[in-house]
A = this chain, B = another copy of it.
């Protein structure tokens, strides 16, 4: 059973080291992890971004499921590329799992970046835009996709010291995926 390992892990200083750790955890539970950088495309080569897109899509099409690192990335929500891939996998009926190393609720996170205040029965930010307030950890499309097409978002109880390298929540996803794919 193949699992696509989506996440902003590709942006880490040593992404291949993280790929190795994640794949080893998958193997421990009988799964084969595939990582977006598996293709070895040179990001400096001409047309690299389109090649990476196509390669990631092929890896997703070949996978039975996704484990998405949905730890918020450069803002209150998960990484955009990862969220795109979650939507893609949900639509194709694949098993969808995800984790976040930040236990805060979405509205709490938004408040780290902008002023959040109540207005006419809703929460708004400094631009007057509504802040989604369903007491969910991220946008409802992300959270409920996991609820319906896999397992509820696995959230670290407390933020680990190193949110980009701690794999406890990831490991829980691997266990859940292995159990679901075996049944």
Contact = CB atoms under 8 A, between A and B. Distances in A.
Interface in A26-55: 43-44, 48-50, 52-54
A56 B148 CA distance: 14
16 contacts: A13-B129, A13-B130, A49-B140, A50-B147, A74-B75, A74-B76, A75-B77, A80-B80, A84-B90, A86-B87, A88-B88, A90-B91, A91-B91, A91-B92, A127-B164, A129-B164
Interface of A: 8, 10-13, 43-44, 48-50, 52-54, 56, 74-81, 83-92, 110, 113-114, 121-122, 124-125, 127-132, 134, 136, 138-145, 147-148, 164
Nearest to A129: B11
Contacts of A44: 121
Given A11-B132, A75-B74, A142 B87 contact: no
